[in-house]
With several copies, the nearest count.
Chain A
Amino acid sequence: MDNLGTIGTTEEQIELLDVATNFCRDKSPIEKVRALLEDDLGYDPQVWKEIGELGWLAIAIPENYDGVGLSMAEVVPIAEQMGRNLMNTPFGSTTLAAQALLAGGSEEQQARWLPKIAAGSVATLALSEDNGDWDLGNIECSGKQDGDTVTLSGKKQLVRWADSAELIIASVKIDGTIRFALIERSALAEGALRRESIIDETSRSFELTLDGVKVSADALFDADRSRETIERIELAAGLIQAAEMCGGAQAVIDYTIEYLKTRKQFDKIIGSYQALKHPTVDNYVEYEKARTHVYSAAHSWGEQGRGEVAVRMAAAQAHSTYSRAADRSIQFHGGFGFTHDCDAQLHRRKAIFDGALIGDAAYQRSKLAGLLFD
């Protein structure tokens, strides 16, 4: 099959891996993660500032827009280490918004927003709706163009970090065709955003009511870029989430191993029981396969055909592995695993949420089948 990718790394990628490994570990100890669960904003603005200063938001942005001019491949190690340390910030949604702008934005739109994002402004996407469909094309929200103004209507769900975002890129239908609209949060009416109760307590998301929101016509992406934009968003989101889930899988497996090495039952360290040891090994094997896929996807980013296959394989493997490893971690922690104090549940919940964002393993496989066999 000529659409199966290979694996490789870039120097910058590995440098970033080393930096991110230390930064995320130091800035996101579990006590802090737990403290943020209760926090309104959901992340530490100071840490966000540092992320901006490290230039991580500029990585995949071209140099002429104050970016570093690398690609999504170099974003992967950062997302991986963030997921590994449950460091949840608008990094993902902002990076995605930049990708959307690069795929669908006009020069003016790119020139206006990409430098801001590169400098640390928060941005996000508003795509999902009440039908729960992972198909980004299946939407009801709409816009009515009247001369120079477009009036939007409908509701968007699961708009991540919207309360911190300067820019929200929403998908709507105008005259039956899908368009992307650039919305400045400052332009939203009081109460347009409702904080949602989501399964992943480390993340934040909002319901966005578009009714009455007006944007000027030049805040729309070109109609003929919509398809490309959707594809780019799907791939970039798949890659980022796969990397986060891969890091999370590593963390929850390590967390389980720690417990198996120390906890005693029946006067024995429980890790010596094959009933716990062997499934943990199997999960570890799946994790290593997931990591291989993730870095293969990073390496294949941008290769026609291969890119999508690699990303979806990574997303499928990462989601099934993360879900399974976290599920077993709850079980293997026994009574403690059933408590909110056990970190296993944080990971299990995040795996559910990440799957909901990009499509679970079964959905990824259904997309892959077409790419591989037809």
Chain B
Amino acid sequence: MAEKPSPAELKEFGEAADAWFKENTVRDPGFMLPLTFMEVSTDQQYDFLRDWQRKVYEAGFFGASWPKEYGGGGLHSEFQRVATRAMKKYDAPIMLNAIGNGWAGPLILDLGSEEQKQKYIKNMLSAEDIWCQGFSEPEHGSDLGNAQLKAVRDGDEYVLNGSKIWTSLGDRAKYMILLARTDFNAPNKYAGLSFFLIPMKIDGITTSRIKKLTGEYGFVQTFFTDARVSADCLFGGEGNGWSMAVKTLEYERGAKVKPVGGYFVKELDVMQIVELAKNSVRNGKPLLDDPVMRDKMTQFMIDIQAINLNNTRRRMPQLMQDRPMGLPLMNKLARTELIRELTEFSLAFQGTKAGYYVGDENAIDDGYWHRSYLNSFSATIGGGTSEIQRNIVGEHALGLPKTR
């Protein structure tokens, strides 16, 4: 465990990071950069982001506080926080390998074997090995515990049959974290699940791209037909799949393993929409002079400021005493719904030009706002719909009875 750094050390490191991002950050490569790892649709975007993550990692500003022996920087987590702050300051592009570094990595560091750590960690940090996630299935999107993909032990292999859906980067990933059913006679649906780290590029695994409501691609459905993987792929032991899956979610909230740093999803920049409003004209006047628009825009500013400050308040136990789980649990709901509402509202500024879409020269910001609004549903639906989130907050933060 690296010991607490001195203010001087931190300052020095921070200045180095600041200088590096100032020099190396490319904000406009000439094509639209995805706001989240779920929105990568073209090769151009993919290659750019993969290179970018490698570059940041090699510069020592990503994975800085992960163990040195597995490719991390081995520094105290304060250093990574400072580096991430610099990243944000220059509005740097996202880190691409979200499932790898955000989900699989912490799990492996926490519970994996020495061999697994050696094999996986470094290459996921460098974005050499891209990871994807196989939890959801077509027939029960929200009901993960009900996963039906079959994994049957056969000698020192497992035979996989079934299908997974909403796999981001599924057609590009080298590995997948997979939730599969190894026991169909288990006492309850959760007990029958097991967790696997599997290779994607093997016989019996095919993917087909899913066209999003935006008209673009980004997710795939993955089909397993007698796909054989080594029994070593099993992680955490048979029947422990559910608890492994739950753990990945906990890591996402920063539990136990030091955060890898960076961000896989971009904060929405409020000034962007304020600019849009200022530059939009109605009846010859800037739209932001329209009091009705001002009022709505002001409410959004209040909401955005609250959600941003909530992230600071979460780290202040003295202001989290009554319902400690409240802020952490509500964050996804509040943030994703706000982005949906805000991007939808942005269309109201565009007058007749709201009729245009990505690809038309007359479209405002090349259709950025329409695309962002339509894409915002990936966050209000994916990773547990907002309706599910309300159940979670109601039951786990407020102690309300479960909905049956």
Contacts and interface: CB of A to CB of B under 8 A. Distances in A.
Interface of A: 1, 4, 6-9, 14, 17, 128, 130-135, 138, 157-158, 196-201, 205, 207, 250, 257, 260-261, 264-266, 269, 271-278, 280-282, 284-285, 288-293, 295-296, 313, 316-317, 323, 327, 330-331, 334-342, 344-345, 348, 352-353, 355-357, 360, 362, 365-366, 368-369, 372-373
Interface string B323-344: 0001100100110000000001
B356 to A, nearest CB: 6
A7 B309 contact: yes
Interface string B41-68: 0000000000000000000000000000
Given A295-B319, A331-B380, A198 B355 contact: yes
Which one of B277, B282, B291, B316 has the highest number of Cβ atoms from chain A below 10 Å of its Cβ? B282
Given A272-B403, A335-B381, A339-B213, A277 B302 contact: no
Nearest to A317: B302
Interface in B142-168: 142-143, 146, 165-166
B360 A197 contact: yes
A338 B382 contact: yes
A334 B139 CA distance: 11
A372 B330 CA distance: 27
A295 B313 CA distance: 9
B187 interface: no
A356 B136 contact: no
Contacts of A264: 140
Given A284-B330, A356-B352, A366-B292, A273 B387 contact: yes
Contacts of B6: none
B307 interface: yes
Interface stretch (B106-114, B235-243, B394-402): B394-402
Dominant SS among interface residues on chain A = helix
A200 B215 CA distance: 12
A296 B309 contact: yes
Nearest to A342: B213
Given A6-B309, A331-B377, A289 B303 contact: yes
Contact of A197 (B211, B359, B398): B359
B294 A313 contact: no
A356 B390 contact: no
A274 B388 CA distance: 10
A132 B393 contact: no
Which one of B292, B307, B309, B402 has the highest number of Cβ atoms from chain A below 10 Å of its Cβ? B309
Nearest to A253: B398
B307 A352 contact: no
B274 A373 contact: yes
B24 interface: no
B233 interface: no
Interface of B: 136, 138, 140-143, 146, 165-166, 210-215, 219, 270-271, 274, 277-278, 280-284, 288, 291-295, 297-299, 301-303, 305-307, 309-310, 312-313, 316, 318-319, 322, 326-327, 330, 333-334, 344, 347-348, 350-360, 362-364, 367, 370, 374, 377-378, 380-382, 385-387, 390-391, 393-394, 397-404
A369 to B, nearest CB: 4
A362 B295 contact: yes
13 contacts: A131-B351, A134-B352, A257-B399, A264-B140, A278-B387, A281-B330, A284-B397, A285-B393, A288-B330, A335-B141, A338-B378, A366-B294, A373-B277
B355 A345 contact: no
Contacts of B282: 133-135
A282 to B, nearest CB: 7
A368 B302 contact: yes
B298 A273 contact: no
Nearest to A333: B381
A293 B211 contact: no
A292 B313 contact: yes
Contact of A198 (B299, B309, B357): B357
A281 B306 contact: no
Contacts of A157: 352-353, 362
Given A292-B306, A373-B288, A274 B354 contact: no
A356 B353 contact: yes
B213 A355 contact: no
B356 A373 contact: no
Contacts of B386: 331
Contact of B298 (A135, A138, A369): A369
Contacts of A282: 390
A316 B302 contact: yes
Contact of B387 (A276, A291, A348): A276
A30 B253 CA distance: 38
Contacts of A272: 400-404
A131 B284 CA distance: 9
A316 B302 CA distance: 8
A290 B293 CA distance: 22
A323 B341 CA distance: 12
B326 A284 contact: yes
Given A273-B387, A368-B298, A199 B403 contact: no
Contacts of A199: 354-357, 370
Contacts of B307: 289
A356 B355 contact: yes
Which one of B270, B363, B391, B398 has the highest number of Cβ atoms from chain A below 10 Å of its Cβ? B398
Contacts of B293: 362
A80 to B, nearest CB: 11
A338 B212 CA distance: 6
Which one of A201, A275, A292, A372 has the highest number of Cβ atoms from chain B below 10 Å of its Cβ? A292
Contact of B401 (A6, A269, A290): A269
A277 B306 CA distance: 23
Contact of A274 (B326, B378, B391): B391
Contact of B301 (A17, A134, A257, A372): A372
A338 B373 CA distance: 12
B305 A132 contact: no
B322 A250 contact: yes
B305 A293 contact: yes
Given A197-B363, A335-B381, A275 B400 contact: no
A348 B212 CA distance: 14
B377 A330 contact: yes
A266 B397 contact: no
Contacts of A17: 318
B281 A133 contact: yes
A277 B301 contact: no
Given A265-B141, A289-B307, A338-B219, 12 more contacts: A17-B318, A196-B360, A197-B357, A199-B357, A284-B326, A317-B306, A330-B213, A331-B377, A335-B166, A339-B213, A348-B374, A352-B355
